[in-house]
Amino acid sequence: MAGDTEPSFTELVNLNSKCNQRCVFCAAEGLIRPHGPAGIAAAIKRAGRHLTISGWEPTLHPRLPEIVARARARGVKNITLFTNAILLDDAEYARRLVSAGVTTFHINFPSHRSGLADRLTGTPGSHERRVAGIRNVLGAPGKKYVSLVFVMNSLNYRTLPACAAYIVKNFPGLVHVLFTTACVMGRVRKDRTLVPKLSKVRPYLAKAQGALLKGRVKCLVENVPLCLMPGFEHASFDARQALLSGRAGAPAKAHHAVCGTCSLNTLCPGLREDYFHIHGDGELKASRRAPGEVARKVRLLKAAHL
């Protein structure tokens, strides 16, 4: 089930270098190189069962439904669309994308509060349009999955528990929330204060995870070392990747001295290097949790047995 309900991060096609938001935490600004028609065709050919469509905001591409339909016709079973969902406030357009073959909508959801969402996205009115877009996708006929991605930053991390409760209440049918950290890329390079200390985020993240678990919404966490999410280590996207690949290494992440005696160092790739350069490694603490038990729960969560 997980392979069908969660976004794939395999073959990626970037459709353009435009966006209709100006998120303060945007990691893509200046880094996206869109594929031309030949590149899109080649990506579809290489995709096999999974294709991810992104870059920068793919719904701004005038031929998106056609590209999705072409991928489906070529046998791509799982098509993930990364989007801010603003343009999905047009119910007919949302239905068209589902009907063309998008199977997973992976939607950037910066806040459940309208004012904060507008501030974070630099786009007045974006929250209401995004909420309408999510509802339109959830209500569209046809099989599809909707997941939200919440980029934790200094402006929104204290709202994590309330946001989780909002998501459970307002989006029945949602399958998955991914909490990730603001990375020092794109816009964040100009304002590193957007990257909060993970030890400060930790209690809010734990409450949010608890609320989602209770509401039967699957939750994953990316870029947080396992020792900074005790009790919820199994929700680590990094741990899942380590189990799938058989090794804990990950690009831009590294172990530190304390990791040498940590029981979870085969499941955890350590700290992001850009985070280390801001906050250091003083928050890390060697875990004593049994790795086999964490691995068992990772597998259960992947199979959605909450």
**Residue found under tokens 């919820």:** 232
Task: Give the shortest CB-279-to-ligand SF4 separation in angstroms.
Answer: 13
Q: Please, which residue, 44 or 227, has the CB nearer to ligand SF4?
A: 227
Nearer to ligand SF4 (CB atom), residue 35 or residue 256: 256
| Rounded Cα gap, residues 212 and 180, in angstroms | 15
Q: Which C-beta is closer to ligand SF4: that of 67 or that of 264?
A: 264
Q: Name the residue nearer to ligand SF4 (CB basis): 216 or 285.
A: 285
Smallest separation, CB 299 to ligand SF4 (Å) = 19
- Gyration radius from the chain CA atoms: 19
Taking the least distance from each CB to ligand SF4, the nearer of 211 and 227 is: 227
Alpha helices in the chain (DSSP H): 2-5, 37-46, 64-73, 91-100, 114-121, 126-139, 160-170, 198-214, 237-245, 273-279, 291-302
Nearer of residues 50 and 255 to ligand SF4, judged by Cβ: 255
The per-residue DSSP string of 65-128 comes to: HHHHHHHHHTT--EEEEEE--GGGGSHHHHHHHHHHT--EEEEE---SSHHHHHHHHT-TTHHH
Nearer to ligand SF4, 44 or 271 (CB): 271
CB of 304 to ligand SF4, least distance (A): 25
Decide: residue 256, CB within 10 A, 0-12 exposed, 13-18 middle, 19+ buried.
middle
CB 51 within 8 A of CB 23: no
Closest CB to ligand SF4 among 99 and 263?
A: 263
> How far apart are the C-alpha atoms of 215 and 31, rounded to whole Å?
37
Least Å distance between CB 283 and ligand SF4? 9
Task: Give how far Cα 257 sits from Cα of 60, 102, 250, 278, 289, Å.
Answer: 46, 44, 17, 18, 18
Q: Given the rule CB under 6 A, which residues bind ligand SF4?
A: 225-227, 255, 258-259, 262, 264-265, 268, 270-271, 284, 286-287
Q: How far is the CB of 224 from ligand SF4 (least distance, A)?
A: 9
Helix (H, G, I), strand (E, B) or coil at 145: strand
Query: Smallest gap, in angstroms, from Cβ of residue 269 to ligand SF4?
Result: 7
Least distance to ligand SF4, CB of residue 247, Å: 13
Secondary structure (DSSP) of 255-279: --GGGGG-TTTTT---EEHHHHHHH
In angstroms, what is the minimal distance from the CB of 176 to ligand SF4? Answer: 23
- Sign of the Cα torsion 9, 15, 17, 21 reads negative
